[in-house]
Amino acid sequence: METKHVTCASCDIKCSVLADVEDNRIIRVRRDPDHPITPHSLCNKGAAYPDQIYHPDRLLYPLKSVGARGEGKWARVTWDEAMDEIGERLNAIVDRYGPESVAATAGAVVPYDLTRRFLNVLGSPNYVSGTYLCLGNTSGVNRVTYGWQPFPDYWHTKVIVLWGHDPQPNKWTAEYLWIRNAIKNGAKLIVVDPRVCFSAKRADIHHRLRPGSDAALLLGWLNVIINEELYDKDFVKNWTVGFEQFRQHIQQYTPEKVEEITWVPADEVRAGARMYASGPAIIPWNPTLDQVSNSTQGLRAMGILRAICGNIDAEGGEMMMGYHPTVVTETEISMTELLPPEQRAKQLLLPGAKLLSYEFWEEYNEASEKVFGRKWAAQVLAGALANPGAVVKAMATGEPYPVKAFINVGSDPVTSFTDARHMHDGFMNLDLLVTNDIFMVPTAQMSDFILPAATWGEKYDLHNHWDWHTFMIGGDKAVEPLGEAKDEYHFWREIAIRVGQEKYWPWETQKDFFEYRLARIASSFEEFIGAGGLAAFDEHPILGSNPQYKKYEKTGFATPSGKVEIYSELMEKYGYDPMPKYVEQNGTAISDPEMAKEYPLYFFIGSKGDPYFQQQGRNIASLRRLAPEPWVEIHPETAYDLGLSDGDFVCVETPHGKLYAVAKHSDEAHPKVVRVPYRWWLPEQAPYAPNFSGLFQVSDNNITSDSAAFADPEQGIPSLRGMMCKVYAVERSPEYSQALSALGASWGGFSDTWGGSGRTGGTREATAAKA
Amino acid sequence: MTYVVTEGCIRCKYMDCVEVCPAQCFYEGATMLVINPAECIDCGLCEPTCPEEAIVPDSYPEAARWLDINQQYSLVWPNIRVAKDPPADAEEFHKRDNKFDEFFSPAPAPA
């Protein structure tokens, strides 16, 4: 038996774990006690990996659709046959419609840089990614304030703010462990969350805020910190622009005013602000502020808060790590510089929303070159992101120009993006849809070609969270891929060489490619892994022998002024607010009280109560057993008033649509706020048209809108939080029940943790009462 | 692979862990609980709940001597799915050292 050091990609935290391998078969995945970054880190998703890699439903052979799109008639073909035809058809599409008519994506746990490289070399600006409303947009707005997206120093911090973010033993486990250790070392914890979540129960301060009002709370904290002079005066004086204007501007956000907007009492606002300002502090990235239509305002306020309290590039604060000095970075691999200006200008966006455009990104090139030695600098490979709603509109209608081809790697865009009907209509209207994936998810079901993908134990890994933290972490390949599954590098290169890109893909294999990237520090990938699989450098603040903080004192910040831009003239130039303010989202009970009479509850889509990561795991028994049905969390008293018992099947309806789920009572819920499940598909249901595995029953994208009316005006992202809904009882359809029962029966039954026992997050008394 | 219950549990048996375990993999002895390593799904939800910090992942050095005990006794002790009240004198054994030699019993929980 051999033990391999691999990177788990059951979620995008990417813990380094151990895989025990016998006869080219993975027999178990276990914790690595010695890894310097993620020691002892593993969750039940990673532990269940053998069930994924050896799952009977894995796609193992290339398939070509030989019926209508979405009909489910497949012929098995060879990789060469598939790729030859894909190449032919792509070339024809590009000749006729231009490279901009080809869009592509990469899912959360597969490489982004390869998709970007392909599109940039091709000449298409239409890279679509879930990061547009998750981490990527954060990096874009952080860039406005201080030219980079910092990474928290969990290892030395004294105050942690978890803002709508709840890492737990089995959810973002590595981060949970860093936070837990920080708290054991004396760090204080502030939790901002309408729910009494796992972290809230352990917090020093808990702000139960109204979803969608986050920017107001941040502005309230800023009001307190500025008026009580708790900020870092030297830093503000030497390294910011616009402070005095901002001081005037912030006066309106008194704690009392903020209480009205956010539900957080004024004295709590003060307490939270003072605690944040009390020590080196971190606000780890959270999805919440990325998924509201006042996201830009909130993220700007958050950036200013970090900066004026002296937390930027300070020990225990948020580190501006910069690029790795010797390993070729993902940003370089992306080759954004190859995309010609006239092609960049064709990027599909919501009108007026330019913050994630190439045009806006270009404004930072001079500063980036000065500070980082390169143009087109970005973390999360998110410098510019096309708007999925605009892209599928172009697919469906040809406006403003047709998008005819889509290459889908490790993602399920049809169920990923707002709104489900628009996604469906756009993708069904393509001339060419190519998917590289492991299971037959809805977008795969609609594809012309499916190329089987290698899972994480079947390929090598090199990651640094897309240049967000500098040190690079490597993972070995544990076993050869099953069937004819291949890694993403192989997939992209096969297409690339057939469309004239061969000179940009000279490395024959993924391993060769990684060895190219590591060439200045290791002569082979084996050597790199053998030496620990970690590429740090002397100046690194966590791992280096000579850690460097406050690098801005030498280089300035990568903003037009070279300083932290509390006031941003660039935002002003684009017609956006130069300083953040509070803007109520459209479609809430506050902005549309008439409509809210019919939709009396607030909702948010999120909260990782499930044992899943995004869409994965619904066909893995040990995971699906824990949460067999999508569930809506609702406070028991609220449910009582609505006549909803624990375990009732319900419809969640908004002005935009409906989804179906089970009601789950929990006194962790805020009485006014329901939690809506996300990224569900039902592998036990009929795939293909028209049902597509329950797409229009359970996807959260049935209830949100991609229209500009409900979008963040600067970014163009939809809102998933703080909007209005109603919840009422319905019956499960016979098809739904039968399919689910059959699935459970095939696994020897679901556990009895579901059916309203309240076990997950329940109380001792409640469980005893039911026993 | 698994979590294991270690010395802290002995004579305290707070059972907050049982409350949250989705895999029903706890087994009750007269003086402590154990986890069945084959049934544990590594979700980690039990670990932060224990007031004695008695539950650790198998990768911790202190887990080594407890893995066999958890393995062995989970096969003979009764499965516990619903938490009971801890013993009346649990507090007296809070954070005490060397509970294994003095107090461990191979007997299952009384019926």
Domain ranges of chain B: 3-87
Nearest residue of chain A to residue B48 (CA atoms): A169
Token pair 């076990």 in the structure block, residue: A759
Are A21 and A99 members of one domain? no
Tokens of B7: 């010395």
φ, ψ at A162 (rounded to 5°): -100, 110
**Is residue A362 domain-resident?**
no
Q: Are residues A250 and A394 in the same domain?
A: no
Contacts of B59 in chain A (CB under 8 A): 30-33, 39-40
Does one domain contain both A73 and A44?
no
Is residue A9 a part of any domain in this protein? yes
**Domain with A40 in it: what CATH number?**
2.20.25.90
Task: Write down the pLDDT at residue A751.
Answer: 55
Q: Any chain B CB within 8 A of the CB of A48?
A: yes
Which DSSP symbol is given to A304?
H
Active site residue A84: no
CATH code where residue A749 lies: 2.40.40.20
Domain annotation covers residue A364 = no
User: Looking at residue A750, what is its pLDDT?
Assistant: 67
Residue A220 falls within a domain, yes or no? yes
- Using an 8 Å Cβ cutoff, are A405 and A411 in contact? no
- Optimal mutation site among A15, A35, A43, A49, interface B, most CBs of chain B within 10 A: A43
Examine residue A287 and state whether it is found in any structural domain, yes or no: yes
d(CA A403, CA A391): 7
Q: What is the CATH number of the domain that holds A174?
A: 3.40.228.10
Instruction: Please indicate, yes or no, whether residues A194 and A79 belong to a single structural domain of this protein.
Output: no
Chain B residues near residue A44 by CB distance under 8 angstroms: 41-44
Distance from CA of B61 to the nearest CA of A (A): 9
Chain position carrying tokens 């029966």: A745
Q: Tell me, yes or no, if A33 comes closer than 8 A to chain B by beta carbon.
A: yes
Run of H or E residues at A409: strand A405-409
Q: Are residues A203 and A271 in the same domain?
A: yes
- Taking contacts as CB-CB distances below 8 angstroms, the residues of chain B near A169 are 43-45, 47-48
The vertex-A474 CA angle with A472 and A477, nearest 5°, equals 160
Identify which of A32, A170, A625 has the shortest CB distance to residue B44. Answer: A170
CB atoms within 10 A of CB B94: 12
Establish, for the pair of chains A and B, how many residue pairs have beta carbons separated by less than 8 Å: 72
Which of A35, A53, A71 finishes a domain?
A: A53
Contact status, residue A725 vs residue A138, Cβ threshold 8 Å: no
Which tokens sit at A674? 């329901």
Cα separation, A571 vs A560, whole angstroms: 11
- With tokens 């450098």, the residue in question is A537
Exposure letters A520-550 (e unless 16+ CB within 10 A, then b): ebbeebeebbeeebbbbbebbbbbeeeebbe
Q: Is A403 in the same domain as A419?
A: yes
From A288, A319, A350, give the residue that closes a domain. A319
Q: Are A617 and A45 in contact (CB under 8 A)?
A: yes
By the 8 A CB rule, do A144 and A565 touch? yes
Tens digit of pLDDT for each residue in B29-86? 999 999 999 889 888 999 999 999 999 999 999 999 999 999 999 999 999 999 999 9
Phi-psi region of A729 (alpha: psi -120 to 50; beta: other; left: phi over 0): beta
Residues A194 and A73 in one domain: no
The C-alpha atoms of residue A445 and residue A463 are separated, in whole angstroms, by 30
CA of B59: which chain A residue's CA is closest? A33
B109 with B80: CB under 8 angstroms? yes
The answer to the question of residue A144 being in a domain is no
* pLDDT confidence bin for B22, thresholds 50/70/90: confident
Together in a domain, A311 and A179:
yes
Residues of B in contact with A624 (CB under 8 A): none
Residues A256 and A170 in one domain: yes
Report chain A (771 residues): mean pLDDT per 10 consecutive residues.
97 96 94 94 93 94 97 97 98 98 97 98 98 95 96 96 94 93 97 97 97 98 98 98 98 98 98 97 96 98 98 96 93 97 98 97 97 94 95 98 98 96 98 98 98 98 93 96 98 98 98 98 96 90 88 96 98 98 97 97 91 93 89 97 96 98 96 96 96 97 97 97 98 94 82 34 36 42
Q: Looking at residue A749, what is its pLDDT?
A: 66
Number of domains chain A is built from? 4
pLDDT of residue B43: 87
Contact A44 B47 (CB under 8 A): no
Q: By residue range, what is the domain housing residue A235?
A: 151-319
Of all residues in chain A, the one with the smallest CA distance to B15 is: A764
Q: Is-contact A715 A356, C-beta < 8 A? A: yes
Half-sphere exposure of A737 (CA within 13 A, CB side): 6
A117 within a domain of the structure (yes/no): yes
Q: What is the pLDDT of residue A4?
A: 97
Q: Within 10 Å of residue A250's Cβ, how many Cβ atoms?
A: 24
Task: Give the whole-angstrom CA distance, residue A276 versus residue A279.
Answer: 7
**Domain harbouring A430, CATH code:** 3.40.50.740
Query: What DSSP assignment string belongs to A704-716?
Result: ---SGGGS-TTT-
Angle at A323 between CA A360 and CA A162, to 5 degrees: 75
Q: Which of helix, strand or coil describes residue A117?
A: helix
A764–chain B Cβ distance below 8 A for any pair: yes
Predicted local confidence at residue B30, as pLDDT = 96
Mutation site, A15, A30, A199, interface B, largest B CB count within 10 A = A30
User: pLDDT tens across A92-129, in order?
Assistant: 999 999 999 999 999 999 999 999 999 999 999 999 99
- Mutation site, B4, B19, B39, interface A, largest A CB count within 10 A: B19
pLDDT tens for A259-276 read 999 999 999 999 999 999
Q: What is the per-residue pLDDT for A542?
A: 82
pLDDT of A755: 28
Verify whether the Cβ–Cβ distance A33 to B42 is below 8 Å. Answer: no
Chosen CATH of B3-87 out of 3.30.70.20, 2.30.110.10, 3.30.70.270, 3.40.50.300: 3.30.70.20
**A214-227 and A243-250 helices, crossing angle to 10°:** 110
